[in-house]
Structure 1
Amino acid sequence: MNSKLLHRAILFGLLGLFALFFLLPLYVMLVTSLKDMDQVRLGNLLSLPASLNFASWDKAWHHACTGTDCRGLQPYFWNSLAMIIPAVAVSTTLGALNGYVLTKWRFKGSELLFSLMLFGVFMPLQVVLLPMSQVLGWIGLSDSIWGLVTVHVLMGLASTTLFFRNYYVGLPDELIKAAMLDGAGFFRIFWRIVLPLSTPILVVTLIWQFTNIWNDFLFGVVFSGADSKPITVGLNNLANTSSSVKEYNVDMAAAMIAALPTLLVYVVAGKYFVRGLTAGAVKG
């Protein structure tokens, strides 16, 4: 075996080991969720289940108690879904428009405005909790799903603007000038020319926002009410609800249910996410 093949074999071997190490917690969660409690008590985390048992999944979805509420994760899941669709759509749309304006319709002070917006990318989330609570109270959106949507749109705007701005810098200005000579206006150029060329960065931003919002716990626990808590809060309440017997298989099934949407998004669109990043989402 020549040195090139040896180096490649070592590289792929190391990558395989790293992948196995990274996926080990997911494997433990999955196999534990498919065991009954008698198998769980045997203490072998890595052993396969004797048979496929989805009772813990059914209980986690329909009957598990989160505090005094024993409706499972189902209501929390639908709350997250109702929140994430408008939040991702609005924050991505506004980020695209901001990036378009800041690159193709520059005005005096646009670079300063962009620099100020970048503070939002690095600002600790805890800083906004109190002022955001006051603002949501003033506009009547506190403890509601639409309040959570508003929070995630505002907090995601800096990142989405950064992504689209850096991508649109690479689009030729001649396209915009030619369209303007043909009489196209601001929105017509955006919808007919810029947006069709934005598929890679759209995918990156949609996946980024979906993952961040779905997995968020801090805003969910602070700004939600009794009937608007997202799934991360429901999962936390389920795992911390005390009972006479701790059902680890139910907890693992609940964790898998909470993780499935983001896992599916990355499985289906992961390659497009990588392509979008290499197409300029984090350049410039």
Structure 2
Amino acid sequence: MTTTSAPAPPIPPLHAGEGGAGPLPSARTRPTGGFTVGRTLRYAALLFFLLIVLVPVYVLFVTSFKGAGDASPTRAWALPTTWTTDNWVAAWDALAPALWRTLQMVIPASIIAAVLGSMNGFVLSRWSFRGANIVFTVILFGMFIPYQAVMIPLLQLMLGLNIPTGVPSLILVHVIYGIPITTLIFRNYYQSIPHELIEAARVDGAGMLRTYFSVILPVSAPGFVVVLIWQFTSAWNDFLFAVFFSSSQNGPVTLALNNLANGALLQNYGVSMAGALFASLPTLVVYILLGKYFIGGLMSGSVKG
């Protein structure tokens, strides 16, 4: 004989005020994170620092459109009484050859240093050999040697090797001094790549070069973005190497800008400001277009996979 239990009575819905519980919060009634005192203070601090950064840009911009009599330190904050583009034309005529030489210098210097740093980083991170840590330490040691301490011996070495001054010497110097930082960035980045990829390539019979070109290089785009931006901006903004290894006739834009600012007894501030904007425009464009990839590339190598 079987017995069946009676079904449990249904639980009545809980209404507001019953059992001391109120209505369940809905998505519409939940707080949406409006402006609080802390958030307002943070935005105010960010706006304050943004204004500090933009003040020199404002002075550069407005002064570049002032005439020779209107551009003076006493009127640095004032708008031009008469807007003119003559300063931009004069600055372009003076800096255009140097801008072209700088492009001829920074593009190959950035690419060569990035490729060599990528190969070094791969070997030192994923193709271990005896003494790899010592070699890596020696390479990094080049980052901590002051440029001023080796400038004269380096110049004598360049002259002894009969390397022409100007663009060829600057390319070689920037490649040499770019290898330590590019090696460090790529070594940290390649350590985040799963080791199983390297092992699978070894099982398939791939050697070191085949593994690098077929497995590692296709996934190295974030690292190359970081390194190329770093090398491009450091080589473009360099002035010390330009003074030692070039002249006003074959030097980069930083040297030409210095000559433009100090080339006359009566300083034309408008032309100097326009020239400074011309010289900083390429690096500004690079950071605006590739800034988010730069941060993403740095973060992609910050943790190990």
Q: What per-residue deviation string (whole Å, max 9, x for no partner) do you get for residues 229-272 of structure 1?
A: 111111111111123x3210001001111111111111111111
Equivalent residue letter for 1:101: V
Per-residue deviation, 1:192: 2.2
Larger % of helix: which?
1
1:127 aligns with 2:149: yes
TM-score normalised per structure 1? 0.90
Q: 5+ unaligned residues in a row in structure 2: which ranges?
A: 1-30
Structure 2 Cα separation of the partners of residues 206 and 109 of structure 1: 28
Contact 1:163 1:282 in 2 (8 A): no
Q: Give the corresponding residue for 1:256.
A: 277
> 1:238·1:251 contact (CA, 8 Å) conserved in 2?
yes
| Alignment partner, residue 81 of structure 1 | 103
Name the counterpart of 1:266. Answer: 287
- Is 1:176–2:234 an aligned residue pair? no
Partner of 2:44 in structure 1?
Answer: 13
Q: Give the corresponding residue for 2:172.
A: 150
Q: What SS does the corresponding residue of 1:83 show, helix, strand or coil?
A: helix
- 1:210 aligned partner: 232
Q: Shift of residue 226 of structure 1?
A: 4.9
Specify the SS of the correspondent of 2:97: helix
Distance 2:293 2:83 in 1: 33
**Which amino acid in structure 2 is aligned with residue 117 of structure 1?**
I
Secondary structure, in 3 states, of the residue corresponding to 2:301?
helix
Cα RMSD, aligned residues only:
2.1
Change (3 A) 1:55 1:248: same
2:121 is aligned, of 99, 109, 112, to 99
- Superposition map of 1:38-57 within 5 A: 38-41=69-72, 43-50=74-81, 52-57=83-88
Partner of residue 198 from structure 1, selected from 220, 231, 241 = 220
Of 131, 150, 160, which residue of structure 2 is paired with 1:109?
131
Of all paired residues, the percent bearing the same amino acid is 43
Distance (Å, rounded) in 1 between the aligned partners of 2:167 and 2:199 = 42
Rounded to whole Å, the distance in 1 between the matches of 2:113 and 2:278 is 25
Whether contact under 8 Å (1:163, 1:281) holds in the other structure is no
- DSSP-derived class of the 1:60 partner: helix
1:90 aligns with 2:121: no
Return the TM-score normalized by structure 2: 0.84
CA contact (8 A) 1:201 1:281 kept: no
Q: Secondary structure at the match of 1:40?
A: coil
Any idea what the Cα deviations from partners look like across 1:56-76, whole Å, max 9, x if unmatched? 0110111xxxxxxxxx11221
How many equivalent pairs are there? 273
